[in-house]
Structure formats: structure tokens, C-alpha cells
């Protein structure tokens, strides 16, 4: 194992791994961990980096994989979101420091078709998409899972905060121990077949514990802030993405009260979502909320 941290620091890491139930065979694969190859999906953030470092320290044959999901030239301009240029570099440096192999896979065309175009079309249809769910359904837990199997992995691990628990009919997904970090909402579409192959080692931890491990391992991402943005949407301006993918998406129309009165005009249904109150630019004295979007009219 190649490491950039001292023996004392590793001793601290080992103590934390034991305290946090991440020593021995935390993935439950049985036998000697060294006999099991584990592909870890690494976004370049602290959660997936700790997952990879902890499993490597536990003795598994870890292979880190990072996906390049959108244009690299644009990606290097956007720091702080998964699968961007800086984050790919961070994942690579974590792997080098720990001493396990790391690969970057170009999934740009798959991601555009399965996630970005679906994102735009969903807005055009008058709905509000959750692209992270779509990404997990298709690119990460379908295409990447197939790649992990081709690499001879016994399982694929991620840094998601969700718990995988053995149930009477096979593995079950349950909420993370840390309610503030729980990601079950984004993983509800995970299939039984996918769940058989997936592991989520951090599901029983809170974020402070994860950062403690990152510091003990000396990971360069230990203090890296969490990303709150959609990875392919610069500065949160999703409308720009929709208009770029589907030119002419901002077709104007009427804003209509539930009683039938026309209150004004808008610049395209892609700018609104059910429940929205701000940005309507209409003053009637009482608060107004979007209750329905009619994309056709």
C-alpha cells in the first residue's frame, strides 16, 4: 500500500474503522477480503473517496472508477460538482495516495441521451425532473454496473447515504442513519438485481464521522464542501440547459387563474413548477401559486 500519511495517522484510521464497523469484512462478501475485487464509483467528493480508502484499507482489491459525463472542456470550468474536471482529478489523486488503480470512463454520449435529453424533455412536457434519479437508473446502476462485472468485481460500492439490509426476500434498501444526509429518495428505483450487486458502506454513518475518516486517511478532499447543484447545470441555470438542448423551448403562453381569468403571460412552462410562488410577476394582493402546467397550450 502506498500512502502519504504517517503510521500514527493510519493507526487513527484503523481505530475509527473499527469504531464505525468498517473493519474486517464490512461488505459481507465472506472469506478473505483480498480475494474480492470491489469497484468503487468515485465522484471526487469526500463520501466516495472515504468509501474507496476504507475498503482498500480493509483489504479488498479496490478499483476506483470515475465517469466523465459531459464535455470535458466545459467540465473543467465547473468546480464542485461530481464528474467535472477538478473532481476527476481529485478522485485520481485519492487513488494514487491510497495505492489502488483508478480509471476514468467516457460516458458522455450515454449521459446526454439518458439524462440530459430526458431532463429537457421532461420540462417541456410540464413536469419537474430529478436527473439524479434518472442517472442512477441508467448510467450509474446499469451501464457502470455492467462495466464493474466485466472487470471481475464481486460488487460495486458507492458513497451514498443509504443502508442495504438483508431481508426475508433478499437485500432491502432502508434510510440512512443520518436523516440529514439520507439519499433513499434518489435511489428508490433501484432494482432487486442491482441491489444484489451494490454496497453502501457509509449508510450507517453521519457526515462528521465520514470526514473524521477522510482526515485520518489524509485525503485531499477531507474538507471539500458538498455539492448542492445538478452536476451539468452551471450556476443552477437549468433553463439555459433546456434551451440549449431543445432550441425554442421557451415558448410563451398565458398565465390563467383557476377561475378562468387570464392574468398575464409567461416565457415558457420550463420556467415554472407546481407549488412555485416566486417569480410569477403578477400582483393580485394575495399570494399566488402554480397549481398546474399545461404544456400543450
- Residues marked as catalytic: 135, 231
DSSP H/E element including 10: helix 7-19
Burial class (CB in 10 A: 0-12, 13-18, 19+), 82: buried
Return the C-alpha torsion angle 3, 7, 13, 15, nearest 10: 150
> What is the C-alpha separation between 143 and 137, in angstroms, rounded?
9
CB atoms inside a 10 Å sphere around CB 109:
9
> What is the C-alpha separation between 145 and 129, in angstroms, rounded?
23
Q: Going by C-beta distance under 8 Å and a sequence separation of 6 or more, which residues neighbour residue 99? A: 1, 2, 3, 56
Q: Are β-strands 37-41 and 61-68 bridged in parallel, bridged antiparallel, or unpaired? A: parallel
Amino acid at each position: 500500500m502506498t500512502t502519504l500519511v504517517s503510521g500514527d495517522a493510519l493507526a487513527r484510521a484503523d481505530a475509527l474503522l473499527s469504531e464505525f464497523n468498517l473493519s474486517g469484512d464490512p461488505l459481507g462478501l465472506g472469506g478473505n477480503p483480498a480475494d474480492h475485487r470491489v469497484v468503487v464509483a468515485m465522484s471526487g467528493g469526500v463520501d466516495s473517496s472515504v468509501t474507496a480508502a476504507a475498503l482498500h484499507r480493509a483489504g479488498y482489491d479496490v478499483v476506483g472508477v470515475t465517469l466523465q459525463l459531459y464535455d470535458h472542456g466545459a467540465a473543467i470550468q465547473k468546480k464542485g460538482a461530481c464528474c467535472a474536471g477538478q473532481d476527476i482529478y481529485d478522485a485520481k489523486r485519492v487513488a494514487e495516495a491510497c495505492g489502488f488503480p483508478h480509471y476514468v470512463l467516457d460516458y458522455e454520449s450515454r449521459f446526454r441521451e439518458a439524462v440530459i435529453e430526458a431532463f429537457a424533455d421532461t420540462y417541456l412536457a410540464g413536469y419537474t425532473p430529478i436527473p439524479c434519479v434518472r442517472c442512477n437508473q441508467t448510467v450509474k446502476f446499469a451501464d457502470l454496473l455492467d462495466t464493474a462485472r466485466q472487470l471481475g468485481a464481486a460488487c460495486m460500492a458507492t458513497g451514498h447515504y443509504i443502508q442495504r439490509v438483508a431481508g426475508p426476500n433478499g437485500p432491502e434498501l432502508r434510510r440512512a442513519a443520518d436523516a440529514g444526509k439520507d439519499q433513499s429518495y434518489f435511489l428508490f428505483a433501484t432494482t432487486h438485481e442491482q441491489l444484489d450487486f451494490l454496497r453502501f458502506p457509509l449508510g450507517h454513518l453521519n457526515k462528521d464521522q465520514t470526514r473524521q475518516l477522510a482526515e485520518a486517511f489524509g485525503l485531499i478532499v477531507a474538507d471539500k464542501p458538498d455539492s448542492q447543484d445538478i452536476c451539468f447545470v452551471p450556476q443552477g441555470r437549468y433553463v439555459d440547459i433546456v434551451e440549449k438542448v431543445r432550441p425554442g423551448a421557451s415558448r410563451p403562453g398565458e398565465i390563467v387563474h383557476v377561475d378562468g381569468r387570464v392574468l398575464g403571460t409567461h416565457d415558457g412552462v420550463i420556467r415554472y413548477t407546481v407549488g412555485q410562488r416566486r417569480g410569477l410577476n403578477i400582483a393580485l394582493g394575495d399570494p399566488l401559486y402554480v397549481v398546474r402546467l399545461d404544456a400543450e397550450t
